[in-house]
Amino acid sequence: MSNEGKGENRRLGELSPEERAAFRRRSQELGSKLDVVKTRRAPPPDNRARGSAMAQGFKIAVELVVGVCFGGFVGWGLDRYFETSGPWFLIVFVVLGFAAGMLNVIRTAQRMQAEAESQQLSAPSVKDDDKDDR
């Protein structure tokens, strides 16, 4: 890639057509090797696990939204019942509903993490096969 001794009048950093072709060939070889490694290491898709994770995510989101909505509804009802001058019960119960929703989210996340840890500990170890590629 250097211009020394070639007798060519090229600017610094420019590639000759031969060097460009060699570079493209090497990059294509590297890309194909990476594709082989990716397909060999990629786990098969597990639709049941994906669906279960999606259900857990929706459950967490719904618990949070329901907590806030329920708190807002109770606060609004108490404001109407006691005819307060401002939405004090509404504000307090929306905050309490958010706190209750977050508590449910944290509990669910802790339970899911405990289940995942037990599965990880019971899984067999995997042999490191990086040395085979050389």
Neighbours of 94 (CB within 10 A): 21
Which residues, including other chains, have CB under 8 Å from residue 132's CB and lie 6 or more apart? none
Question: Which amino acid type is present at position 9?
Answer: N
pLDDT of residue 41: 77
Give the integer Cα–Cα distance in Å for 78 and 87: 9
Span 10-29, average pLDDT: 88
> What pTM was computed for the model?
0.58
Cβ distance 94 to 53 under 8 Å?
no
pLDDT of residue 6: 54
Distance of CA 115 to the CA centre of its chain: 19
Residue ranges covered by each domain of the chain: 50-122
Which residues, including other chains, have CB under 8 Å from residue 127's CB and lie 6 or more apart? none
Is pLDDT of 1 > 60? no
C-alpha angle 20/22/27, rounded to 5°? 95
pLDDT tens-digit profile of 70-120? 999 999 999 999 999 999 999 999 999 999 999 999 999 999 999 888 888
pLDDT of residue 130: 60
Residue 101 burial by Cβ neighbours in a 10 Å radius (0-12, 13-18, 19+): buried
pLDDT tens-digit profile of 20-66? 999 999 999 999 988 888 887 767 778 888 898 899 999 999 999 99
pLDDT of residue 125: 72
Cβ distance 98 to 71 under 8 Å?
yes
